[in-house]
Amino acid sequence: MSLKSQHIPRATIQRMAVYIQVLESLQRDGKDVISSELLAKTCSVNPSQIRKDLAYFGEFGVRGVGYYVQDLITSIKQALGVDRVWKTAVVGIGNLGRALLNHREFKLRGFHIVGAFDCDPFKIGEIVSGLEVICSRRLKEKAEEIGIEIGIITTPPERAQRATNYLVDAGVKGIINFAPARINVPDDVTVEYVDFFHHLYAVAFNVTLNAESE
């Protein structure tokens, strides 16, 4: 039906990202067509799940055939809104912030880093990966000039809320927070938290569980 304004589960969005990843692998391997059954096996999900997930956005397959890999990648990226350039900015130019600025994959995937902000006077003015580090207090002013859509926070945790405030104040509606701290934002701002210790905890728990049950 693909009617808009229907609620799409968060889990669906997460799986869509996995589908892109797997489809791009398939494409590199020269595969043209894939069935929901095979795609499902690779993603470790149920085939119905995939068809259901895709149905939220439209009809992308051909009955009796499957999905054309290239077309499906394009369709999913369009559905997610990642078929265009997103202007992003990094706040907190320390170890991690620098690593992200130097990571070329961002540009490759349409996330162009157009701003680098820090509060440390020794860092302000420095050129990192072709970008001048700007004082984070000037974020709003700069945002009006360059247009920031997504903010990436890589400050220490106790500074994450302040960085958030700068971003929100500048009208940024999407935030990725690498600092291990929860942040408060207005309802119309989206936050995603990235913390790989969460994954380590999950693995440790599962390994413990499996070890006990045998």
Partner DNA sequence: CAATTCATGTGAAATTTTTAACAAAAAACG
Partner DNA sequence: CGTTTTTTGTTAAAAATTTCACATGAATTG
Q: Which residues bind DNA (CB under 7 A)?
A: 1-2, 7, 9-12, 34-37, 45-49, 51-52, 54-55, 59-67
Measured from the CB of residue 197, what is the shortest distance to DNA in angstroms?
A: 20
Residue 47 CA to residue 174 CA, distance in Å, equals 31
Piece of 59-67, 123-131, 140-148, 205-213 that binds a second copy (CB under 8 A): 205-213
Q: By CB under 6 A, is residue 178 in contact with ligand NAD?
A: yes
List the x/- string, 46-75, binding to a second copy by CB under 8 A: ------------------------------
CB atoms within 10 A of CB 210: 9
Q: Which does 163 bind (CB under 5 to 8 A by kind): DNA, a second copy, ligand NAD, none?
A: ligand NAD
Measured from the CB of residue 195, what is the shortest distance to ligand NAD in angstroms?
A: 7
* Termini Cα distance of the chain: 46
Distance of CA 47 to the CA centre of its chain: 24
Specify the residue for token string 């077309």: 71
Residue ranges of alpha helices (H) inside 35-104 are 36-43, 47-55, 69-80, 95-102
Nearest CA among 177, 156, 148 for reference residue 94: 156
Q: How many residues bind a second copy (CB under 8 A)?
A: 63
* Stated length of the chain: 214
Provide the 8-state DSSP code for 29. T
Q: Please work out, in degrees rounded to the nearest 5, the angle formed at the alpha carbon of residue 7 by the alpha carbons of 54 and 85.
A: 65
Residue 190 CA to residue 86 CA, distance in Å, equals 15
Which CB, 86 or 193, lies closer to DNA? Answer: 193
Provide the 8-state DSSP code for 159. G
Window 8 to 37, contacts with a second copy (CB under 8 A): 10, 13-14, 16-18, 20-22, 24-25, 28
Residues in contact with ligand NAD by CB under 6 A are 91-97, 99, 103, 117-120, 123, 136, 154-157, 159, 162-163, 178-180
Contact set with a second copy (CB under 8 A): 4-5, 10, 13-14, 16-18, 20-22, 24-25, 28, 42-44, 80-82, 86, 95, 99, 105, 109, 111, 149-150, 157-158, 173-176, 180-182, 188, 190-214
